[in-house]
Amino acid sequence: MDNSTLAIVVPCYNEEEVLPQTNERLCSLLDGMMRDGLAGQGSYILYVNDGSRDSTWQLIEKYCSIGAHVRGLKLAGNVGHQNALMAGLDTARADADVTVSIDADLQDDINAIPEMMKKYHDGCDIVYGVRRKRTTDTFFKRTSAQMFYRFMTSMGVKSVYNHADFRLMSRRAVDALCQYEERNLFLRGLVPLLGYKTDSVYYDRLERPAGESKYPLSKMLSFAIDGVTSFSVKPLRLIFDMGLIFILISLVILVYVIVALCQGRGVQGWASLMLSIWFVGGCVLICLSIIAAYIGRIYTEEKHRPRYNIEKYLK
């Protein structure tokens, strides 16, 4: 028999379409786990409402009043997936021995949770849920996600391939995570830094049963930029490499100009001049924007604003 209290943390943003299904499946899973002695009797599901504009919070309130093992945390506004998740973990660590975070759309297979708990009992502090294949995702989602992982690795960010935010963390791992005070949160890069004993369970990614993805391309891009700028300074070094290449190109042009002069032909210049001015100008601006991305992070980090505000906590 196991007495560790498990908290399943579910961030929700405009999820009214999928939440009824999610709640039903999570409740029966948790009941089963408590019956089988895989989770303590005080275990619960914690829905974090990330400033939804639809009836998500009303649903959560309803589930809290009927279900004995359901809790709801209402954030005062929309703070984004990562911060909402952090709010849930931070709240759960007060009384839960172990947390599992999972998206509200249940694209991650909840049947992996008992397996995660087994690994936890075997002494792991962190268990990653890793997608075996993503055939159910759209072609666009699959390739863009793959590009995302490639890009991150090439920029020197260590993250677990095909792992999103479906993971188990023990209380001390969450405690350690809460010590990291950064505002530009990229949890899947941060968790591997904790250093505790880690393992993975594998599952097939399922289709979103209802509702639509809250991660359009624009959000994914800014998420990628967040990830790179908070874990790697490689882009800054690439600027130096680019400078070297430009100097090399200018040397080649210099040789060409000297040879042409010696042969007595003046170098015709307008087109090449215009081209290079705009080309080099563009490159310089891109480099500046890379530097600006880092300065922007310094600016937001320096203010030390709270990550989220809690409006209500229903136990």
Taking CB under 6 A as the rule, does residue 105 contact ligand UDP?
Answer: yes
Taking CB under 6 A as the rule, does residue 120 contact ligand UDP?
Answer: no
Least Å distance, CB 93 to ligand UDP, is 19
The region of 65-73, 101-109, 237-245, 307-315 touching ligand UDP under the rule CB under 6 A is: 101-109
**Chosen from Mg ion, ligand UDP, none, partner binding at 104 (C-beta under 5 to 8 Å by type):** ligand UDP
Rounded distance between C-alpha atoms, residue 200 and residue 121, angstroms: 14
Interface residues for ligand UDP in 5-34 (CB under 6 A)? 11-13, 15
Q: Which of 27, 69, 80, 128 binds ligand UDP (CB under 6 A)?
A: 80
Considering the complex, state which of residue 16 and residue 301 has its C-beta at the smaller distance from ligand UDP.
Answer: 16
Taking CB under 6 A as the rule, does residue 227 contact ligand UDP?
Answer: no
The DSSP-derived string for 31-94 is HHHHHTTSS-TT-EEEEEE-S-SSTHHHHHHHHHHH-TTEEEEEESS---HHHHHHHHHHHHTT
The DSSP-derived string for 77-144 is S---HHHHHHHHHHHHTTT-SEEEE--TT--S-TTHHHHHHHHHHTT-SEEEEEES--TTS-HHHHHH
Taking CB under 6 A as the rule, does residue 84 contact ligand UDP?
Answer: yes
Contact 183, 111 (CB under 8 A): no
Taking CB under 5 A as the rule, does residue 230 contact Mg ion?
Answer: no
The most distant pair of C-alpha atoms in the chain lies apart, rounded to whole Å, by: 93
Interface residues for Mg ion in 106-125 (CB under 5 A)? 107
Q: Which residues would be at the binding site for ligand UDP (CB under 6 A)?
A: 11-13, 15, 50, 78, 80-81, 84, 103-105, 107, 213-215
